Amino acid sequence: MLRTRILCLTIAATLGALTGCGDSGGSTDSPSYDVATLDVGNYPTVPRDIEASRTELSGPRLEAARIGDAVPLPMEIDRRMVFKPTIYWERRITPADPRELPSIDKKEFSDLTQGLVAGWFTRAQRRESFQGSALQMFTLRFTDAAHAETAATRIADRQQETVPGEPVSIPGIPAAKAKWSVGKRYLDAQLTKDAMLLLVRVEDPLTEPVNTAPLAELAQRAFDKQLEGLKAYTPTPVDQLESLPIDVDGMLSRTLQLERSPTEKDGGDLSMVLAKQAALHTEFYPDLTKAAFEDAGVDLVSYSDDRVYRTKDRDAAERLIAAFIDQEAKGYKTIDSPPHMPGVKCFDLKDPKGNNYRYPPVCYVAYDRYVARIENKNVQQLHQQAAAQYKLLTQGR
């Protein structure tokens, strides 16, 4: 309740209260800048051809994003699950993008999930620290029901080998299988529905005495919500995956390209565009961000070297920035705006001993109905990156 009240008050008041951030002015309109004066360093400022990045990995990743848009947020299952624990935004699962399954090492992923087309992973917890209960879900699509059932059996068997547990019934869903690990304090459950395999893990490390009944009920709600959400998902035929669009409405072409280390394993371009529901799974505070998205009319978010949000109009873009600033205020201090870009709000880690992975230097740039979140560990490069991102947003709008 307090978090919601804070957000509501902030959206109404932050624009006025924070006009001192950086060297911003007092207008609620997104300022315009002379792009000829901006220092963009070596960053590109011309929209790229996104289709040129298409590979055989693209189709399954695009389908994974479509699945993600049908997956409920953990907080929609249990309103207490309002914290995302990691800095990473990737939630897609494909044969080329394996992920550790509950109690199973990533190295075993391919052997256990033969016939996988694509899937989505999400997790949230009750506390911002890793102490306390958590809920995670895997929503996996296979080529057919037989492959889904085989994967379910293999995963259950392997889980029992690695983390033995006692059988638990999921109320109202006799087809679901589950076990409770006394030592690890995990409840792992699985359910197949046609070609879909749903995996749910409920973690409860602190409650004494242990009572698995409410955990099984939470797993039941998770399955019910997943199945309800999947009604809105129409699987793309496998032979048509490569026809799915990589760039939606030019969002990615005007988002700075993800920089990759020369030594990084070549997994193709991981940039993506997500619809609102899928995007909320990537946010640190999904409850606050969902309210901010609804207020600002966010419908699409692009992810690459920067993150770009599309709102309903210019005023909404400014309100979204205000909401983001409020969410992160405890970890940040204000720093100067980029040269020749007064009004751009930038921040750096408040506590020198704090977590600069969680709170890297950041700038928020608005152009028309678009908001860009730019991060970089070096402030000079951050400013150049923000300038380049602004220039990109002005192209072709």
Cα separation, 199 vs 52, whole angstroms: 35
Q: Say which residue, 225 or 22, is predicted with more confidence.
A: 225
Instruction: Output the six-digit token pair for 123.
Output: 């997790």
Instruction: Output the six-digit token pair for 304.
Output: 């690459």
* Nearby residues of 12 by Cβ (< 8 Å), 6 or more positions away: none
- What mean pLDDT is predicted for residues 161-178? 96
Contact 25, 31 (CB under 8 A): yes
Q: What is the pLDDT of residues 44-63, one digit of tens each?
A: 999 999 999 899 999 999 99
Q: What's the pLDDT at 63?
A: 98
Q: What's the pLDDT at 208?
A: 80
Q: What's the pLDDT at 297?
A: 98
Rounded to the nearest integer, the mean pLDDT of the chain is 89
Q: What is the pLDDT of residues 228-257, one digit of tens each?
A: 999 999 999 999 999 999 999 999 999 999
Instruction: Output the six-digit token pair for 231.
Output: 């009604």
Q: What is the pLDDT of residues 271-280, one digit of tens each?
A: 999 999 999 9
Q: What's the pLDDT at 387?
A: 98
Cα separation, 368 vs 135, whole angstroms: 37
Q: What is the pLDDT of residues 27-41, one digit of tens each?
A: 345 678 999 999 999
- The yes-or-no verdict on residue 378 having pLDDT over 90 is yes
Q: Please report, for residues 142, 191, 192, 306, 311, the alpha-carbon distance to residue 174 in angstroms, rounded to integers and kept in the order given.
A: 22, 10, 11, 45, 43
Go through the domains of the chain in sequence order and give each one's CATH number: 2-53+247-393 (no CATH), 58-230 (3.40.1000)
- The yes-or-no verdict on residue 2 having pLDDT over 60 is no
3-state helix, strand, coil in the chain (%, to 5): 35, 20, 45
- The yes-or-no verdict on residue 19 having pLDDT over 60 is no
- What mean pLDDT is predicted for residues 360-389? 97
- What mean pLDDT is predicted for residues 163-183? 95
Q: Strand pairing of 177-181 and 345-349? A: unpaired
Instruction: Output the six-digit token pair for 325.
Output: 């600033």
- What mean pLDDT is predicted for residues 279-301? 97
- What pTM does this model have? 0.89
> Please, which pLDDT band fits residue 23 given cuts at 50, 70 and 90?
very low
Q: What is the pLDDT of residues 55-92, one digit of tens each?
A: 999 999 999 999 999 999 999 999 999 998 777 889 99
What HEC string does 125-157 produce? Answer: ECCCCCCCCEEEEEEEEECCHHHHHHHHHHHHH
Q: Please report, for residues 62, 115, 233, 235, the alpha-carbon distance to residue 240 in angstroms, rounded to integers and kept in the order given.
A: 11, 16, 15, 10
- What mean pLDDT is predicted for residues 127-137? 85
Using the 8-state DSSP alphabet, how is residue 97 labeled?
A: B
- What mean pLDDT is predicted for residues 115-126? 96
Q: Please state, for a pLDDT cut of 70, what percent of the chain lies above it.
A: 90
Q: Say which residue, 210 or 188, is predicted with more confidence.
A: 188
Q: Report the candidate in 14, 25, 22, 26 with the shortest Cα–Cα distance to residue 334.
A: 22
- What mean pLDDT is predicted for residues 328-343? 96
Instruction: Output the six-digit token pair for 39.
Output: 């220092």
